[in-house]
Structure 1
Amino acid sequence: MGTRVVAPFRRFAATNPLIVDVVLALVFTGMTVAIEVAVARRPWLLGMAPEHGFRLPDRFSMMLTLVANLPLALRRRAPLVVLLISCAAAIVYHALGYYYGLNTMPPLLALYTVAAQRSPRLAAVGAVAILVMWTHAFLVGPVGLLGAGVVQAGVMIAVAWGFGNGARLLTDRSRRLAELSERLSRDQEDRARRAVTQERVRIARELHDVVAHHMSVISVQAGLARYVFASDPVTARDALATIAQTGSEVMGEMRRLLSVLRIEPEDEGDGVSYDPAPGLDQLGQLVERVRSAGVAVEVTVTGAARPLAPGVDLCAYRIVQESLTNVLKHAGPARAGVSLLYRPAELEIRVTDDGGGSERAAAPDCEKGHGLIGMRERVKLYKGTMAAGPRPLGGFEVVVTLPLSSPTEDEQPPMPAGETSL
């Protein structure tokens, strides 16, 4: 209940600090002036009668009270100046013989503000000024109060300084936390943007690999079917069957990619599934499609073949797929060879052909397209090496080396150098 009552006042004070300070200054001034007016009418109050050695309040004392209290309205803007003015007015007030106990509290509030907003060195200057003011007040006051008065002043000054310094440390800590939170938020946004960009590149690469390979096969088979449609119906029917099968396969892979894009995070545990990504276990189907398109392909496997991590397996499959697609598109009549060499810690993939290697070096797809660029990106992503170019005796060659890891390893590919995983 108390919190609900105080909360609106805290919000008001946070949003309107000047109004709050004006109210405080008026309250301090009003209380002190009211005491002076009461004492002027009844001198015996607080033992302030002339026979006790004090000068009765008058217009000049009230003017000094205004000078000592009203500057508190600007304590947040110039706290040390306000403190010094308040102390100077109080010293003059006490030196003229007015009651030593009045106008001593406003400097403490100013000291709190100095300690909360300024350096400890300035706060020490303000504390010394207040101690001087209070010592002077007790010196001109009744005899015998100096020692106890100085101790009391020291305690009150220490309390005001302690609260102010604590507020300053809390404000600094809150500011640093806010800056750190903002920096972390920017870093998270940058990471999210990089992740989105990387995912877009991966999706674009997948789409290119799927569409380019299968459409190349379909284009070759369609041209063959049209060429032999009247003269060799059997060959034409076989070509059309290959087109139908290849179209079905590309549609299946497109559906797999789209299902990955459509799946929501909360659906992952609800039985939503999609076909696994292709790997080297489907190399035979890939080679058969290329053979049916008119390119003789020979596959050689050296070493002990073993299961690969999903990401590396997909990368190896796409490398072979893109290389054979380039053979279809650029080599003309050619024979191709696919060699897989399993070493203890790496897999070497070599795809060669005996087609028009020198012309392919200048082919648009090799220089400006996405074929070799996509392969290089894939290989770099898995910290492998790649070399591609014409062979000395004619034809073209792509050699890729991929580091191998355990097939049970996380499917996520390693991040490029200088980046961290989200």
Structure 2
Amino acid sequence: MPALQALRPRSAQVALAVGFAVAGCLIGTFYHPEPWRPFGPGAYLLTLLIALPLALREKRASGVLVVTAAGFAGYLLLGYQPSLNFWCPTIAFVSVCARERRGRVVRGAVLLAAVIALSGTCGRLPWPVTVVQALIVPAVACVVGLTQRRLAQRNAELRRLTVLLDEQQRQEARRAVLDERFRIARELHDTISQHMTIVTLQTGLAQYTFHSDPAAAHRALGIAATAGRDTLDDLRRLLVVLRTYDLGGATGEQDPSAPIPDDLLAGIDRIPALAERLEAAGLRVVVHFSGARRPLHPGIELCAYRVVQEALTNVAKHSTAHAADVTVDYLDQELRVTVLDEGAPDAAPGAFANTPGSGHGLIGMRERAKIWHGSLTAGARPGGGFQVRLRIPLGEEVASPAPKEDTLRGRTRVQDPDPDSGSGSGQRPTMT
């Protein structure tokens, strides 16, 4: 069955073969000049033998050429007029040139030239005409066939390239989906991890003190409820951003400086509020600011905030320290953020984690820094504790003077004095 299906001709080839057969029979019936023999049953059979094999010329080009040439030679030798049968071996030879090897093409050209010469001789044409006809017809058919071969090769190459392009597009689509999943996972990790740490710690404290100190349990549950509401707010904000804006624009075709609404993204101004929540969970956080405050791109603000959030969450979850220090330095060409903890007094130097972590947080922080062409280093401090440092180049960020003192969520944050002004005692101010 597969062999029969492979030999099944296309409808266009069948129509061509039937058309030549019908036209040859009709012309032979109504037009038979002297001295050609009258068109009889033998002529009809030979006409069908010459024309109908053309339906298989795409599958068996050389065989079709031999059959049509032999049939046409017998047709001529029996004294019938050439009519349209003249073109059947020529069309078969075109298919030979388009599909067969060079040796078969040469043999086919010789066979076609011999049949054309026989046609001229039987038609009593002058010998120069017969010779020219025997040379020109195979040459023209060969050119047409080779042109078809080149077109077929180009079409095959186009099909191959189309398949490769389609596969590449599918791979790019899969890669885009994976990148989007990684980005969403990073955002969810950075958003939920810190809040859920507070909720876990406070609900554990409430469970522990439920009977012995109901007031403390009540306060712990209130802090956990507040952290839960903050989690919902951040999730809502995150979903809006993921649906509407590309937070990693620097890694794609979008411009990383494209504006993003400030109310959708967390910024450096929210770091003190973050410190407040962690203080309620039992981790004392001191926040320092230095340098000339100025508005930065919201993506850079989000990067700094998320790094501080993840670093402080790691301190609360994995470190033996009870306090952490956050420093935000606004330099002329760089934003530098440092988060460090001193470690527990009785901890060995370099001790950091008392519970295992997945390591995804550190990977996410480094990815965020890379998006904005920055760098992030993290490691144990020689004297104990752990340090995370983020550095982001600011380039030509436009600075606008910020007040030396502002209020956020009921607390006052005091800027460091300008180190170049000569004022101040050199001590870093802290959250008050």
Per the normalisation by structure 2, the TM-score is 0.70
The 2-side partners of 1:19 and 1:231 are apart by 92
> Does the 8 Å CA contact 1:361/1:390 hold for their aligned counterparts?
no
Counterpart residue number, 1:300: 288
The 2-side partners of 1:223 and 1:103 are apart by 99
Which of 53, 59, 63 is matched with 1:77 structurally? 59
SS in 2 for 1:364: coil
Deviations 1:356-406 (A, max 9, x none): 4655346311xx353334334434555544333322222122233344456
Deviations 1:69-107 (A, max 9, x none): 343232111113322342344345545665466742111
Structure 1 residue 135, shift from structure 2 partner: 2.5
Which of 187, 191, 196 is matched with 2:168 structurally? 187
Deviations 1:316-375 (A, max 9, x none): 21111011111112234522111234455544332111224655346311xx35333433
Which of 338, 342, 358 is matched with 2:326 structurally? 338
- Equivalent residue runs for 1:200-349 within 5 Å: 200-222=181-203, 239=220, 241-260=222-241, 275-343=263-331, 345-349=333-337
Which residue identity lines up with residue 363 of structure 1 in the other structure?
T
> Does the 8 Å CA contact 1:308/1:406 hold for their aligned counterparts?
no
Which residue identity lines up with residue 181 of structure 1 in the other structure?
T
- Which is worse superposed, 347-356 or 157-166? 157-166
The answer as to 2:396 corresponding to 1:375 is no
SS in 2 for 1:300: strand
Query: Per the alignment, do residues 110 and 310 of structure 1 end up closer, same or farther by CA in structure 2, a change over 3 Å counting?
Result: farther
The 2-side partners of 1:294 and 1:214 are apart by 13
Counterpart residue number, 1:177: 158
The 2-side partners of 1:282 and 1:95 are apart by 103
The answer as to 2:117 corresponding to 1:130 is no
The 1-side partners of 2:125 and 2:174 are apart by 76
Counterpart residue number, 2:426: none
Counterpart residue number, 2:35: 48
Give the number of the structure whose residues are more often helix, by fraction: 1
Deviations 1:123-150 (A, max 9, x none): 5654454233212322343252x33455
> Does the 8 Å CA contact 1:86/1:107 hold for their aligned counterparts?
yes
Percent sequence identity over matched residues?
Answer: 40
> Does the 8 Å CA contact 1:260/1:274 hold for their aligned counterparts?
no
Deviations 1:291-330 (A, max 9, x none): 2323222223344444443333322211110111111122
Per the normalisation by structure 1, the TM-score is 0.71
Gaps of 5+ in 1: 1-15, 40-44, 50-54, 266-272, 409-422
The 1-side partners of 2:309 and 2:324 are apart by 12
Which residue identity lines up with residue 208 of structure 1 in the other structure?
H
Which residue identity lines up with residue 189 of structure 1 in the other structure?
R
Query: Per the alignment, do residues 209 and 23 of structure 1 end up closer, same or farther by CA in structure 2, a change over 3 Å counting?
Result: closer
SS in 2 for 1:322: helix
Query: Per the alignment, do residues 113 and 307 of structure 1 end up closer, same or farther by CA in structure 2, a change over 3 Å counting?
Result: farther
Counterpart residue number, 1:360: 352
> Does the 8 Å CA contact 1:349/1:399 hold for their aligned counterparts?
yes
Query: Per the alignment, do residues 249 and 134 of structure 1 end up closer, same or farther by CA in structure 2, a change over 3 Å counting?
Result: same
Which of 389, 394, 405 is matched with 2:379 structurally? 389
SS in 1 for 2:282: coil
SS in 2 for 1:360: coil
Query: Per the alignment, do residues 309 and 149 of structure 1 end up closer, same or farther by CA in structure 2, a change over 3 Å counting?
Result: farther
The 2-side partners of 1:103 and 1:229 are apart by 106
Query: Per the alignment, do residues 25 and 379 of structure 1 end up closer, same or farther by CA in structure 2, a change over 3 Å counting?
Result: same
Query: Per the alignment, do residues 189 and 306 of structure 1 end up closer, same or farther by CA in structure 2, a change over 3 Å counting?
Result: farther
The 2-side partners of 1:330 and 1:288 are apart by 19
SS in 1 for 2:168: helix
The 1-side partners of 2:104 and 2:385 are apart by 82
The answer as to 2:371 corresponding to 1:398 is no
